[in-house]
Each structure stands twice: as C-alpha cells, then as structure tokens.
Amino acid sequence: MIRVAVFASGTGSNYEAIMRYTAQLTVPDIEVGLVICDQPQAGVIAKAVRWQTPVFLVERRQFGSKKAYEQQILSRLQQERIGFVALAGYMRLIGPTLLSEYYGKIINLHPSLLPAFPGLDAVGQALEAGVKVTGVTVHFVDAGMDTGPVIAQQAVAIDDDDDHESLSQKIHALEHQLYPRIIHQCALGEIYLDQGKVCRLVR
Ligand code: GRF
C-alpha cells in the first residue's frame, strides 16, 4: 500500500475527487493517509474530517524560516510513512527541504495548459488573454512556480459566453477526472521521472 499525502490550501474539491477514486478501487493499492493544510479556514479541512483523513494544519507564520516550516511537514510525512505527495490547490512553492526527500514523488495540478498562464488565477489569465482553448496540466514539481516536467494535459474550449465561474467549473470537472488517475499511476511508479524525463512503464 502506497500512502499518499494531499497538500491543499483551499476548497479541496480535488482532494474529495481523489477520495472518491481511491474508495472505489478494486485493488486498493494506494490510500490518502494525510492532508497537509496551511490555512485554518480552508474548506478542505471539513472535507478531510468527513472522509476521516488526518489533517496536519501547519501555518507558515508560526515558523521563523521556510526551512523550519518544511522540516515540520517532512517529519510528519515520515512519521506517517508517506511515499507520495499530490499538491491540490496548495498555494506555496515547495522548497529544498521537501524536494530533497520527495523529488520525483511530488506532483502538482494546474488549471491551464502550462507553460501558458502559470501562477495565480490561471482561469482569469486565460479569459483576459482572450484565448479560445485552455486546460489542465499535471506535472512533477521542481523548485519553480508551475514548472517541472509535464505528465498529462487536457484541453478545455472557452466559449464566447464563458465567464470565470463557468470556465472554472469546466476545468474542475476535468481535473476531478484526470488527477486521481495520474496520482495513482505515479504513486505506483507506472509513471516516473528518469533524468528529468517523464517515463511510463509499458505493460
Ligand atoms: C485547482 O483548480 C487546481 O488546478 C489549482 O487549485 C485548484 C484547487 O481546487 N492548483 P480545489 O481546492 O481542489 O477545489
């Protein structure tokens, strides 16, 4: 059994999609063992309580440095025997402390077709730019902001009458389908990083 931690700062709809996905696995070879959350008001906390996932609430401002903050997270991950990390709306860059232990074992989900529209409010950026297609990206995490080798992407058409809410809904629906499957494959090592390249096991 591979134990996965989900890092989230917000609503947690992707966390919940991951929980629904793992709950229906016929061979339960992954489980979400921990939610790491840095925001006491985040909606993900109540969702985690409902799904009975332990939550580690850890606020950056309680630590003198990013290193100390991440060391606290790292010891909890190790204590809980976490083998894989999925960022799902976690609004911080991952620093060297976590990367040195989990590089190749941390992935992120971003609501655009990277490298287009990295950073905050990718949905708003796409609408502002007037593009007709955007999408979602899953990628391995490196030290950059929404950089790192791309694992999977799916496109979403932007219709003339789309606004921020309708486009966000379309993107979320796609994320909820895509992300749990990719987490599963990466956690099992069926998709992995080799010298910075994304590789897939052929069965
Ligand atoms: C998602 O759109 C994801 O792409 C981005 O943050 C959002 C998180 O949504 N990184 P939720 O909290 O899972 O609902």
- Which residue CA neighbors atom 2 of ligand 1 most closely? 111
Ligand 1 atom with minimal separation from the 123 CA: 2
- Which residue CA neighbors atom 5 of ligand 1 most closely? 89
Ligand 1 center to 15 CA (angstroms): 9
Q: Is 97 left (phi over 0), alpha (psi -120 to 50) or beta?
A: alpha
Closest CA to 138 of 84, 83, 188, 198: 198
Interval 185-202: pLDDT, tens: 999 999 999 999 999 998
Residue pair 109/163 in contact by the 8 Å Cβ criterion: no
Ligand 1 center to 122 CA (angstroms): 11
Beta bridge partners of 36: 7, 56
Domains of the chain and CATH, by start: 2-200 (3.40.50.170)
Cα distance between residue 187 and residue 96, in whole Å? 21
- Which residue CA neighbors atom 1 of ligand 1 most closely? 89
Angle at the Cα of 32 from the Cα atoms of 3 and 44, rounded to 5 degrees: 145
- Which residue CA neighbors atom 7 of ligand 1 most closely? 89
pLDDT < 50: residue spans in the chain: none
Ligand 1 site residues, Cβ closer than 6 angstroms:
8, 10-14, 88-89, 109-111, 175
DSSP 3-state assignment of 72? helix
pLDDT at res. 202 = 84
Ligand 1 atom with minimal separation from the 8 CA: 12
pTM, 2 dp: 0.97
Residues marked active site are found at 110
pLDDT at res. 48 = 98
